[in-house]
């Protein structure tokens, strides 16, 4: 990470209900294997819960960080100097940019369970990416952090 001051930090976590669904998946596998005995049911529950838990955990592993001069999203490091003016999106407008307005060349970090987003143009003429679309629970704060260039 850049030695600059951290202006924004967000982890796009999975909703709590998904963890409950992971537990239910494990219980369902336990019930499927119950006719083979309690040991098989316990193994099925353990395996199912671990498998579903790994999926849910992977959905919540993406971070968005903004420092004074860089944007860190997942594995990408993008200098703020190469970005245009950010636009906070809500509701239907955010959904539109996720679906029918989307450009296939855009860099998109989407979470369907996160209703807000920020769209920011890429100004670098060497980069074929037209814009970034970043899901965010607090799009105004992210847009403000992206707009504050050093």
Each residue's pLDDT expressed in tens, for the chain with a length of 150 residues: 445 788 899 988 888 899 999 999 999 999 999 999 999 999 999 999 999 999 988 877 789 999 988 999 988 999 999 999 999 999 899 899 988 998 999 999 988 788 899 999 999 889 899 999 999 999 999 999 999 864
Listing from the earlier edge strand, what are the strands of the sheet with 107-109? 83-89, 117-122, 131-135, 107-109
pTM over 0.85: no
Could you write out the DSSP letters of every residue in 22-42? HHHHHHHHHHHHGGG-HHHHH
Neighbours of 147 (CB within 10 A): 14
Torsion of CA 79, 80, 85, 88, to 10 degrees: 90
């Amino acid at each position: 990470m850049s030695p600059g001051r951290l202006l924004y930090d967000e982890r796009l976590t999975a909703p709590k209900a998904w963890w409950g669904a992971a537990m239910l998946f494990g219980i369902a596998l336990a019930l499927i294997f119950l006719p083979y005995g309690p040991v098989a049911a316990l193994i099925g529950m353990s395996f199912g819960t671990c498998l579903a838990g790994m999926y849910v955990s992977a959905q919540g592993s993406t971070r968005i960080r903004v420092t004074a001069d860089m944007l860190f999203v997942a594995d990408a490091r993008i200098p703020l100097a190469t970005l245009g003016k950010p636009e906070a999106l809500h509701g239907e407008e955010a959904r539109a940019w996720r679906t029918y307005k989307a450009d296939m060349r855009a860099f998109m970090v989407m979470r369907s369970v996160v209703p807000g987003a920020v769209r920011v143009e890429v100004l670098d003429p060497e980069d074929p990416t037209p814009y970034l679309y970043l899901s965010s629970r607090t799009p105004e704060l992210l847009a403000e952090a992206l707009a504050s260039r050093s």
